[in-house]
Structure 1
Amino acid sequence: MLQDSLGRRFFYLRLSVTDVCNFKCSYCLPDGYQGKPDESFLTANELESAARGFAAMGTKKIRLTGGEPSIRKDFNEILSRIGGIPGIETLAVTTNGYRLPQRVASWAKAGLNQLNVSIDSFDAAEFHRITGHNRLEEVLEGVREAKSLGLKVKVNSVLMRGVNDDLDATLNWLKTNPVTLRFIEVMETADQQVFFRQYHLSGESIRTRLLQQGWQPIIRGVAAGPAQEFWHPDYAGRIGLIMPYSKDFCASCNRLRISSLGKLHLCLFSEQGIDVRPYLQDGVATEELVQAVTHHLSGKVAGHRLVDHESGGTANLSQIGG
């Protein structure tokens, strides 16, 4: 398994299939996608090569991200190709939920077994203001459909001061829905410095309120991600907190990223990606890819510098898939 000089082990790859997104979320792309829709994103063959290469290096979990990954017309084919690779135990997707009720069954058939859906508010009007789409009921229907298909489903919600931090609607939904909802702190990027100053709220304040209300922390497993999760006997669902500004957040890092243009990112907030696309041309795992990833991983730094307002080369989160 891949390991860096600090002893952190990496079994999880976030693989972006496109930068394009059809939502206009206020914390990411408030003016909509401004890139080049005809950008030369990784082909299905190249994506499969990356997945096979990382599987050969011990990767057990691959998450397809964007942008909005389902925008790709060959998305089901990509799922099928990666889902059939030996060694990949979890194939996950992060989506904004666009047309999810009509699509999720075909994703499950293609090999998907875990789904993360973005829902930043359970108030329809607020959801519309945040995303630019009046689709809350459609997204919620998609979540129900995914659960009925046996998929492991989580909801991602960007925590924003004065927008969704009162918790009332969230707690009401979790009363009867056996889903983990993770609040993610707003992260400062080059495009969103003003937004960050206005809306960032430390997850520690939410953690304190949860503990005061009887929520209990769940001991994280060795393979767990960065979320601190909590459960309550009166609720069917759980709450998670992803707090990248907290002390030692990066100590449990277990994931690497490849952008839709074939750049390896050792951190979401690295200055620049490392071009590995030349090693993805054969549709198989290449020794050159293994050597390149292993070499560059040895130089992975201890942590990001978000607390110093340095977000590296990340202008917005759609660039690398979050």
Structure 2
Amino acid sequence: MLLAAALAVTGCSESGGSDSSSRKAAGSAAQRGVPATGNGAAGYADRTAAPGTGATAAPKAPAAQIVRTASLTVEVRDVAKALATARAAAQDAGGYVGDENTDRDAEGHERTRVVLRVPVDRYDALLARLEGSGRLVERSAKAEDVTGQVVDVDSRIRSQRASVARVRALMDKAGSLGDVVSLESELSRREADLEALLAQQASLKDRTSLATVTLSLSSAAAPAHESADDDPGFLDALAGGWHVFVTVVRWLALALGAVLPFAAAAALLTVLWLRVVRPRLPRRAPAGAPVTAPAGPGLPVHPATPAAPAPAAGTDSAGTDSAGADGGRER
């Protein structure tokens, strides 16, 4: 009986100790913020190890958002054919052709600039295909990380949508007309901000999902077959002389064309002078001709007295007068 009583007392003390230790573990777990269960620490370990049950999981890092752009300049023999190949490559990659511009320079060389948009996963394959279409002259590629912008815009859109929803809820509870008008104005402003954020989000999504490749195609220059040290021959001299002759004739024709209006004007003025102006001018009498005065009324007209002959050589006026006087005395 004494042995049985001793064994009973020992069992009761062990069960009481285990209960008190369990209560102490539950109290310490409650102080730490861990709910107590029948399993104690083992249950807590199981809950913390199982993902998605119990404590909040750490937020995942957002995926990288990269904007990829590239620029290629390639020389090809046939620009039209290379452009058709580039279009087909973009369409095969699941993209499309954007802006396109084609022109010709002064020497007749054709140049084309085209913008291609392709998915990011086909970006490198498209670049390799375009580089192999001709002789690569220039290449530049750029990768811009816009992950921060994407995350910021997404967060602002969520906040703006919640703000719009709150304003609409206040409009439903508004009791006066003034409150309704004020809330409508505020709602319009917030909806405009939300639309701007949505447009920015769509632009970022388009830039990150599709890469941009700007391709410039130009026709290759023809190789020069003439060497600088070759001596000119007879045909070269003949061709040079003909070129000089044609140039001189052309310049003479240009000079004649420039002078012809002035020559025509001078000829016209000469004809007018001879045919119209000159016949109307008064004529002058010739030198030594007698000048007769016009006859007035009642006056006789006398013929002009002939001029006295010039004295003979060797005589003078004094000798003539003395000879005449002598003859008179003799008579």
Which TM-score tier does this pair reach, normalised by the shorter chain? under 0.3
Which structure has greater helix proportion? 2
Larger CA Rg, structure 1 vs 2: 2
Q: Which one has more relative contact order, counting CA pairs under 8 Å at least 6 apart?
A: 1
Normalised by the length of structure 1, the TM-score is: 0.17
